[in-house]
Structure 1
């Protein structure tokens, strides 16, 4: 497989991570989305309209954490090199993994009101980091967490294929990636939902392992390929 294929697979696997984290927040932390901020803003409006003070603060905590994660990732990757896989993206995913690790370790303690807010903040800030890091790669407009635009883009692609004979015979990789991102996000959500009754927070270890595997892979595969290409271009080596 090509490096582009590997990168696409990594991006899709991150969608699984987002689905798992979102369901943890929704089922175990007061019905709050920690990755899908569109849904979280709707829940915030519903809570304000129904005077649900606790839900309002939960939603605001999630939004605040997500914004901090996005801003932090933007500072980290925003003006860095525009390469196939920027090192800053790997660093951002590493920070995300550390945040999820802190969540996993703290989740072993007895839950309390203050810990709930901290848990929401940790998960949402991790998803903010992942969102901006994924967008830096610029693959099919996929951010791994904000799927409304991805869904719209996918059906725009489908419509174009049926309306124009020019597109009908074209294999559109972006459309396939968008469809798979939706499916895998749903798959991650299903995994977390199935695990929640018996393993309330333990399922968070799966995203941690996924991120660790991604970091190890890109640090070896992409770096070694880059060094090989540079050596091939150097006539004196």
Structure 2
């Protein structure tokens, strides 16, 4: 497999990770008690608001989400291969996506067997699993070397897009937009697509909504498995 094909595969995998994040944010907010498990900026704001107005249950769920995300990130840091190991970045992403997919599969099994709406301890377990997967994915995305693209928070990506476009205004001299700029646009489109698909699925009461993050992660993993064979 050529270097160009490798780059396309990595870009597609990053876009699928963004799709997973968009799907997860909508899924967690609408089914797990109005809590985000991907956007830690959002859930931190929810935690502060809940503490300010005395909404203890919301504050607890937000705290569980943040703590689980951090645990997932720590677990991913321990699982990734040493930087000096051969092909460490690609192998790390593959390993982390496998763990993420396994946790998402467990999430789907529990969600399928749980009463709806999910409440109590089962909801807390689902928050833990969902947030852990996003913590793992955030580390996996850093291993792809797609600089300027984060899959769980899009602020940096959106800012870099605005800056790049502004620098190409009238009277300014700059290099032509690169393929990497296009990937940033596609990554945001992936997030929006994941969010829209899950929102539509939940409106129609489809169990398929729970499967969207797992499906996107499995496709991303398949791309990395194919890259390792090339």
* TM-score normalised to structure 2 length: 0.89
Indicate the structure whose relative CO is greater, using CA pairs within 8 Å and at least 6 residues apart: 2
| Mapped partners of 1:121, 1:201: distance in 2 | 20
Give 1:15's aligned residue.
18
Answer yes or no: is the 8 Å Cα contact 1:12–1:184 preserved in 2: yes
| Mapped partners of 1:178, 1:125: distance in 2 | 25
For structure 2, list consecutive stretches of 5 or more residues without a partner in the other structure: none
Q: How does 1:1-237 map to 2 (within 5 A)?
A: 2-77=5-80, 79-80=82-83, 81=85, 83=87, 85-107=89-111, 108-110=113-115, 111-162=118-169, 165-167=172-174, 170-199=176-205, 201-219=207-225, 221-225=226-230
* TM-score normalised to structure 1 length: 0.87
Answer yes or no: is the 8 Å Cα contact 1:104–1:204 preserved in 2: yes
Equivalent position SS for 2:142: helix
1:216 CA drift (Å): 2.9
Distance 1:117 1:164, change over 3 A: farther
Answer yes or no: is the 8 Å Cα contact 1:20–1:188 preserved in 2: yes
| Mapped partners of 2:124, 2:68: distance in 1 | 10
Please identify, of 85-94 and 127-136, the stretch whose mean Cα deviation from structure 2 is larger: 85-94
Answer yes or no: is the 8 Å Cα contact 2:73–2:138 preserved in 1: yes
RMSD: 2.0
CA deviation vs aligned residue, 1:191-218 (integer Å, no higher than 9, x gap) = 1111113336531212222222332332
